[in-house]
């Protein structure tokens, strides 16, 4: 049974709760705080909270929610944020939950739950993906919405953070069922999203077509509004360069980091996990710049070549066969060995949590570029830092996608389309500037790049919040 103790903290002029319980409950208490923070009782995770250190040290290993929360709190301590402001920054602006009932193709009625978590709008309209996945979990969506707030601030684009989704299996739905579901979801939330309010984008299980349906349905209520979503088809106002943007941003970020060490992509060896949208663009652009991609993997297998894989040939092969298996320009390898393969730069572009306490000590790369979200779990982070591996954090490294989404929104509002060269040049400018801003935070706070990025993002949101005046 949890023991609940009421304490009065000096720096918080209202009653707070400290919960003396095993860490498992503390974790859910942390979640509870996220979900219900607007209630007058506020859980106390400040310096005096009895269970904080135990909860934090164990919760970090658990999931994206815990990882994001931990990084936020560390950044907040480094910045010396007032505890009231810290709490306020964690509380989502709005949580939307709707039932989406549609007729299936066979005439039966089915209902799906849709969420939209709008985390923060201090710096501008909230921005984030909509995912269709059977395990859409409100806690995870909450963490991802929060992460978007810090990510858009790191990239210095005038947005806040949001995330949403529908708990469904998109592969089990026909195209017309998906369209009906998307339209019903849009009907339920159209008053709460908008060009200057909340701008959705594609995520897992959704794509440009999904955005086209949202745009069409939203426009029935509000008039033609291409800027209400990004990641649209080009024919409906999508941006040139958006498809490659995340991978291209990863490469610009890598170049900015390497330049700090008097290195360049050319001549270095790269290992890339994942050969989907992000991984294939990273591989292509590294290859174009004279970098040697010596191993690549995807869900079908892994291939290596110490002399460098011919990436254009591998792309053709994958296009033709749908697989990396059997590619004659290299030897097949154990995909589990890929992450610990000898190389200069390791670029995880697939799943979260792939670098963990089991394999971190064996990683041989000198640099890790986190193109995927959460590829390094916090225990691995610690092991790698001790080994002197330089890690470029996901919150910055994969921000190229949302940055070009911002350019898409700007073009829609301007009613003027940029050419691809302009999109790429602006992307490079934003990614390079963000790197230098992160570096300044690292110097100011004597911290690593992950904390440099978090302090940069959190500080910008905190400043905007204070300037607006947030105590109603």
Work out whether strand 126-132 and strand 198-202 pair parallel, antiparallel, or are unpaired.
Answer: parallel
Residue nearest ligand NAD (C-beta atom):
276
200 binds ligand NAD (CB under 6 A): no
Binding of ligand NAD at residue 161 (CB under 6 A)? no
Contacts of 423 (CB under 8 A, 6+ apart): 239, 240, 241, 242, 245, 404, 407
84 is a catalytic site residue = no
Q: Which H or E run includes 449?
A: helix 449-468
Residue from 9, 58, 187, 277 touching ligand NAD (CB under 6 A): that is 277
Contact status: 276 vs ligand NAD (CB under 6 A)? yes
Closer residue to ligand NAD, CB minimum distance, 46 or 170: 170
Does 465 contact ligand NAD by CB under 6 A? no
Verify binding: residue 67, ligand NAD, rule CB under 6 A: no
Q: 227-241 as b/e, with b when 16 or more CB fall inside 10 Å?
A: bbbbbbeeeebbbbb
Classified as helix, coil or strand, 87 is helix
With respect to ligand NAD, which residue has the nearer C-beta, 4 or 234? 234
Q: What CA–CA distance (Å, rounded) separates 267 from 289?
A: 9
- Angle subtended at Cα 391 by Cα 287 and Cα 388, rounded to the nearest 5 degrees: 115
Catalytic pick among 87, 127, 151, 163: 163
182 binding ligand NAD? (CB under 6 A): no
Q: Which is nearer to ligand NAD, 98 or 136 (CB)?
A: 136
In sequence order, which residues have a C-beta less than 8 Å from that of residue 78 and are 6 or more positions away? 445, 447, 451, 455
Tell me which stretch binds ligand NAD (CB under 6 A): 64-72, 176-184, 344-352, 460-468: 344-352
Calculate ∠ Cα 380-381-385, nearest 5°. Answer: 115
Q: How far is the CB of 99 from ligand NAD (least distance, A)?
A: 27
350 binds ligand NAD (CB under 6 A): yes
Residue pair 276/298 in contact by the 8 Å Cβ criterion: yes
Q: Which one of residues 234, 259, 299, 361 is an interface residue with ligand NAD (CB under 6 A)? A: 299
Instruction: Specify the DSSP class assigned to residue 391.
Output: E
Closest CA to 438 of 388, 382, 399: 399
* Residues in Cβ contact with 13 at an 8 Å cutoff, skipping those fewer than 6 apart: none
332 lines the binding site for ligand NAD (CB under 6 A): no
Least distance from ligand NAD to the Cβ atom of residue 381, Å: 16
Shortest spacing between CB 8 and ligand NAD, in angstroms: 42
Which of 279, 291, 393, 457 is close enough to bind ligand NAD by CB under 6 A? Answer: 279
Contact pattern from residue 406 through residue 445 relative to ligand NAD, giving x for each residue in contact according to CB under 6 A and a dash for the rest: ----------------------------------------
Query: Which residues contact ligand NAD by CB under 6 A?
Result: 246, 273-279, 297-299, 335, 349-351, 371-373, 398, 401
Catalytic residue list: 163
């Amino acid at each position: 049974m949890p023991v609940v103790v009421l304490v009065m903290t000096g720096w918080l002029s209202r009653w707070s709760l400290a919960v003396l319980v095993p860490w498992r409950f503390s974790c859910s208490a942390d979640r509870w705080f996220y979900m219900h923070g607007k209630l007058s009782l506020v859980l106390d995770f400040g310096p005096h909270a009895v269970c904080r250190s135990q909860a934090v040290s164990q919760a970090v290993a658990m999931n994206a929610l815990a990882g994001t929360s931990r990084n936020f709190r560390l950044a907040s301590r480094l910045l010396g944020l007032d505890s009231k402001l810290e709490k306020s920054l964690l509380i989502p602006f709005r949580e939307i939950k709707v039932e989406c009932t549609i007729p299936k193709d066979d005439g039966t009625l089915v209902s799906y739950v849709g969420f939209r978590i709008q985390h923060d709008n201090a710096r501008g309209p909230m921005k984030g993906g909509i995912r269709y996945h059977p395990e859409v979990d409100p806690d995870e969506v909450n963490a991802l919405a929060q992460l978007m707030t810090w990510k858009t601030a790191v990239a210095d684009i005038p947005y806040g953070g949001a995330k949403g989704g529908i708990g469904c299996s998109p592969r089990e739905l026909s195209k017309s069922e998906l369209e009906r579901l998307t339209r019903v979801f849009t009907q339920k939330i159209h008053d709460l999203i908008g060009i200057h309010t909340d701008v959705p984008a594609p995520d897992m299980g959704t794509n440009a077509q999904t955005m086209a349906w949202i745009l069409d349905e939203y426009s029935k209520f509000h008039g033609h509004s291409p800027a209400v979503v990004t990641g649209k088809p080009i024919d409906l106002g999508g941006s040139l360069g958006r498809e490659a943007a995340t991978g291209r941003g990863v490469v610009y970020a890598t170049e900015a980091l390497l330049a700090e060490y008097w290195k360049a992509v050319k001549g270095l060896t790269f290992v890339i996990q994942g050969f989907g949208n992000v991984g294939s663009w990273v591989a292509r652009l590294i290859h174009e710049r004279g970098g040697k991609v010596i191993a690549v993997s995807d869900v079908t297998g892994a291939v290596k070549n110490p002399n460098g894989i011919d990436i254009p040939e591998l792309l053709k092969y994958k296009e033709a066969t749908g697989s990396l298996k059997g590619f004659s320009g290299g030897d097949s390898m154990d995909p589990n060995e890929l992450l610990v393969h000898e190389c200069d730069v390791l670029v995880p572009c697939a799943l979260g949590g792939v670098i963990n306490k089991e394999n971190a000590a064996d990683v041989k790369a000198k640099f890790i570029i986190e193109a995927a979200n959460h590829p390094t779990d916090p225990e691995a982070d610690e092991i790698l830092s001790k080994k002197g591996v330089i890690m470029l954090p996901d919150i910055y490294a994969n921000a190229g996608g949302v940055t070009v989404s911002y350019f898409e929104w700007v073009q829609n509002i301007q009613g003027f389309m940029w050419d691809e060269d302009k999109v790429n040049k602006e992307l490079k400018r934003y990614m390079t500037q963000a790197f230098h801003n992160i570096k300044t935070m690292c110097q100011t706070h004597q911290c690593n790049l992950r904390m440099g990025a978090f302090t940069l993002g959190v500080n910008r949101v905190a400043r905007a919040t204070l300037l607006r005046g947030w105590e109603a």
